[in-house]
Amino acid sequence: MTLAAAIRSGDVTLLPSRRDEDWRWTDLRGLLRTLPTPSPETDAAVAPGPFGALGDSEILVVNGRLRDDAASTLTVRSGEKRTVRLRFVSASPQSRHEARLTINVHMGADLTLLESHEGMAEGYVAASGLDIRVDDGARVERLVIAADDADAVNVSQAEVVLAAGARFSQTVLTDGAKRQRLETRLTHPGDKADVHLDGVYLIGGRGHADLTTSVHHQGPGGTTEQLTKGVVRDQARAVFQGRIVVARGADQTEARMGHHALILSDRAEVDAKPELEIYADDVSCAHGNTVGALDEDALFYAQQRGVPYDEARAMLAEAFVSQVVERIEHEGARAICAAWAAARVKI
Amino acid sequence: MLSIRNLHAQVDGKEILKGLTLEIPKGEVHAIMGPNGAGKSTLSYVLTGRQGYTVTAGSAHLDGEDLLALAPDERAARGVFLSFQYPLEIPGVAALTFVRTAMNAQRRARGEPEVSAPEFLKLARAAAASLKIDYEMLKRALNVGFSGGEKKRMEILQMAMLQPRFLILDETDSGLDIDALKIVADGVNALRSPERGMLVITHYQRLLDYIRPDRVHVLADGRIAASGGPELALDLERDGYDKYAKAAA
Q: Contacts of residue A306 in chain B, CB cutoff 8 Å? A: 73, 76-77, 102-103, 105-106, 109, 162
Q: How far apart are CA A15 and CA A279, in angstroms?
A: 32
Q: Do the Cβ atoms of A176 and A148 come closer than 8 Å?
A: yes
**Which is more confidently placed, B249 or A71?**
A71
Judged by CB atoms within 8 Å, which residues 68-87 of B form the interface with A? Answer: 71-73, 75-77, 81-82, 84, 87
pLDDT mean over A7-24? 95
pLDDT digits (tens, 9 = 90+) for B3-13: 999 999 999 99
pLDDT digits (tens, 9 = 90+) for A17-75: 999 999 999 999 999 999 999 999 999 999 999 999 999 999 999 999 999 888 999 99
CB atoms within 10 A of CB A335: 13
What is the sign, positive or negative, of the torsion defined by CA atoms of A193, A227, B144, B155? positive
Proportion of chain B above pLDDT 70, given as a percent:
98
pLDDT at B249 over 60: no
Domain limits, chain A: 36-294
Q: Do A303 and B82 touch (CB under 8 A)?
A: no
Instruction: Characterise A299 by phi-psi region: left (phi > 0), alpha (psi -120 to 50), beta (else).
Output: alpha
The amino acid at residue B197 is G
Nearest to A296 among B51, B81, B91 (CB): B51
A319 at B interface, C-beta within 8 A: yes
pLDDT on residue B246: 64
Q: How far apart are CA A209 and CA A201, in angstroms?
A: 7
pLDDT digits (tens, 9 = 90+) for B50-78: 999 999 999 999 999 999 999 999 999 99
Q: How far apart are CA B189 and CA B213, in angstroms?
A: 11
pLDDT on residue B241: 85
Q: How far apart are CA A90 and CA A124, in angstroms?
A: 7
pLDDT at A1 over 80: no
Q: What average pLDDT does the structure give for chain B?
A: 93
Q: How confident is the model at residue A197 (pLDDT cuts 50, 70, 90)?
A: very high
pLDDT on residue A69: 82
Q: How confident is the model at residue B242 (pLDDT cuts 50, 70, 90)?
A: confident
Proportion of chain B above pLDDT 90, given as a percent:
82
The DSSP symbol for B132 reads T
Q: Do A322 and B92 touch (CB under 8 A)?
A: yes
Q: Which of A227, A216, A230, A101 is nearest to A157 (CA)?
A: A101
pLDDT on residue A55: 96
Contacts of A76 (CB under 8 A, 6+ apart): A82, A103, A104, A105, A106, A109, A110, A111, A138
pLDDT at B47 over 90: yes
Q: Do the Cβ atoms of A255 and A215 come closer than 8 Å?
A: yes
Most B CBs within 10 A among A229, A290, A305, A315, hence the mutation to make, goes to A305
- How much is the pTM? 0.89
Q: Do A298 and B162 touch (CB under 8 A)?
A: no
Q: Contacts of residue B50 in chain A, CB cutoff 8 Å? A: 300, 304
Instruction: Characterise B70 by phi-psi region: left (phi > 0), alpha (psi -120 to 50), beta (else).
Output: beta
DSSP states of A161-230 as a string?
EE-TT-EEEEEEEE--BSEEEEEEEEEE--TT-EEEEEEEEEE-TT-EEEEEEEEEE-SSS-EEEEEEEE
B48 at A interface, C-beta within 8 A: yes
pLDDT at A327 over 90: yes
Judged by DSSP in three states, A341 sits in: helix
B93 at A interface, C-beta within 8 A: yes
CATH of residue B161's domain is 3.40.50.300
pLDDT mean over A228-254? 97
pLDDT digits (tens, 9 = 90+) for A285-324: 999 999 999 999 999 999 999 999 999 999 999 999 999 9
Q: How far is A1 from chain B (nearest CA, A)?
A: 42
Q: How far is B235 from chain A (nearest CA, A)?
A: 34
Q: How far apart are CA A191 and CA A164, in angstroms?
A: 5
Q: How far apart are CA A109 and CA A101, in angstroms?
A: 19
Judged by CB atoms within 8 Å, which residues 165-204 of A form the interface with B? Answer: none
pLDDT on residue A291: 96
pLDDT digits (tens, 9 = 90+) for B75-104: 999 999 999 999 999 999 999 999 999 999
Q: How far is A298 from chain B (nearest CA, A)?
A: 6
> Number of structural domains, chain B?
1
pLDDT digits (tens, 9 = 90+) for A100-129: 999 999 999 999 999 999 999 999 999 999
pLDDT on residue B243: 81
pLDDT on residue B175: 81
pLDDT on residue B247: 61
The residue segments making up the domain with residue B61 are 2-248
pLDDT digits (tens, 9 = 90+) for A120-178: 999 999 999 999 999 999 999 999 999 999 999 999 999 999 999 999 999 999 999 99
pLDDT on residue B179: 87
